[in-house]
Chain A
Amino acid sequence: MSRPFEEVVLPHLDAAFNYARWLTRSDVEAEEVVQDAYVRALRFFSALRGGDARAWLLTIVRNAYFARGPRHVDVFTALPSEDAGSRADDELDPEALVLQQETVSQVRDALEQLPLDFREAIVLRELEGLSYREIASVTNVPIGTVMSRLARARERLLGILTATVEEGVRP
């Protein structure tokens, strides 16, 4: 027996909005994207057979976001992605990270600076708790790419956040 849309998809509204908000970095746009996504989800609901409704919905949110056209293409994605975040492991001082009181807004700013591919990998992994397989399915890339994106995204974030700390500590 199939369960109604309300019971299967509606409970994931917060997840849809959170993801859309991180994709768009705007409350207004995120609302529009989620509305579009729900219209699409409703239309294609019969295509969801079993499976995870949340990951399915997040995929649709992403498609709705990209369907909005070139003016919504993330300018940061075009930045070269190799150099900026790379750094020898020896420079990393975890204690500094643990002890410093990195404010919530500093972390948010750092995450917002990341290119879209990296940003969404972090959001889906850390805030939605999706597995690599699920992230691969939502973002339509191989699992190996998910892993390397997460690694690079985290290196970048650590780079940005430790730089912030050093600026703050040193006179």
Chain B
Amino acid sequence: MTCVDAARLLDAYVDDELAAPEAAAFRTHASGCRACGRAVEGRLALRRAVRRMPYYSAPDRLRAMVTSKTRASGHRRHAVVAAAAALVLAAGTFMAVRAVQLRDATGVIADRLVTDHVRALQTSRALDVRSSDQHTVKPWFLGRIDYAPPVDDLAAAGFPLLGGRLAAVEGRTVAVLVYQRRLHPIAVFVWPASDTRTRAADARAVRGFNVRHWTAHGMSYWAVTDATAADLQELASLLASPR
């Protein structure tokens, strides 16, 4: 590959849009060519700078307006679906449909929390309170939210506490505790459960992140991380264990 070819493919290369053989040829060239190697570094430095900018999140006023507009239409759709189901489907089938809807709702929350987690990682404001001491982190939430989130000391089990922050989930402000597994942060979103029965965990992968949801001690937990699903399961069982 010549420098002219490399210059033409530079952006496709840093954007991971080249086919494997082309990307390999590019890499070989750039590793031996100082100018092209520097061009790649420049692109990557620029990317870091651009991604440091805060994301423009929708203002609450806009969210409320759009939600109320779409709710009305959403309810009509639900009504139509329900009526059709009652007419043509047996009760058992209807239950199955309902289960799918519930599962989809879970997926929507999981997706949102992953977005929130990614955004928090991208900004310098990843934590509102930074401390490994549960007796510093827990009181920080006092007066900021209307419940006391459980904060655990799990450093001995290999999950040191990094700190906490606030997040907006489904229109309410909730506590996020951030633990760490090796170099991987684990964000644990927690709020009082509307249904306090302990339920089976829901584990899924969303855009490369592992997400796990469970209910324990009257709290609804959602954990998001790039650590492995096994690590996440371990943390979940520690947090769910009787205190």
Query: What is the interface of chain A, defined by CB distance below 8 A to chain B?
Result: 1, 3-7, 9-11, 13-14, 16-18, 21-22, 27, 30-31, 34-35, 38-39, 42, 89-90, 92-94, 97-98, 102, 104, 107-108, 111, 122, 125-127, 131-132, 147, 150-151, 154, 157-158, 161
A31 near B54: Cβ-Cβ < 8 Å: no
Residues on the A chain within 8 Å of B17, using CB: 131-132, 147
Closest to B7 in A: A89
Distance between A44 CB and nearest chain B CB, rounded to angstroms: 12
Instruction: Give the segment of B61-69, B134-142, B214-222, B223-231 that binds chain A.
Output: B61-69
Given contact pairs A22-B56, A38-B69, A126 touches B74 in the complex (Cβ within 8 A)? no
Distance between A113 CB and nearest chain B CB, rounded to angstroms: 14
Q: What is the predominant secondary structure among interface residues of chain A facing chain B?
A: helix
Closest to A18 in B: B56
Query: What is the interface of chain B, defined by CB distance below 8 A to chain A?
Result: 7, 10-12, 15, 17, 35-36, 38-39, 41-43, 45-59, 61-63, 65-67, 69-71, 73-74, 77-78, 81, 97, 100-101, 104-105, 108, 111-112, 115
Contact of B58 among A34, A39, A42, A107 (CB under 8 A): A34
Q: How far is the CA of A21 from the CA of B69 in the complex (A)?
A: 21
Contact of A97 among B15, B45, B97, B108 (CB under 8 A): B45
Q: How far is the CA of A30 from the CA of B53 in the complex (A)?
A: 18
A42 near B70: Cβ-Cβ < 8 Å: yes
Besides A9-B70, A154-B11, 19 new A-B residue pairs in contact (Cβ under 8 A), listed by A number: A4-B78, A10-B70, A14-B55, A14-B57, A17-B57, A18-B57, A30-B56, A35-B62, A42-B73, A89-B35, A92-B39, A92-B42, A97-B45, A97-B46, A108-B53, A127-B51, A132-B12, A154-B46, A157-B50
Distance between A31 CB and nearest chain B CB, rounded to angstroms: 5
Given contact pairs A6-B74, A11-B111, A42-B70, A16 touches B58 in the complex (Cβ within 8 A)? yes
B11 near A35: Cβ-Cβ < 8 Å: no
Closest to A153 in B: B11
A90 near B58: Cβ-Cβ < 8 Å: no
Q: How far is the CA of A150 from the CA of B62 in the complex (A)?
A: 31
Q: How far is the CA of A113 from the CA of B124 in the complex (A)?
A: 24
Q: How far is the CA of A161 from the CA of B59 in the complex (A)?
A: 29
Given contact pairs A92-B38, A154-B46, A4 touches B59 in the complex (Cβ within 8 A)? no
Q: How far is the CA of A70 from the CA of B115 in the complex (A)?
A: 35
A150 near B11: Cβ-Cβ < 8 Å: yes
Closest to B207 in A: A129
B56 near A17: Cβ-Cβ < 8 Å: yes
A4 near B74: Cβ-Cβ < 8 Å: yes
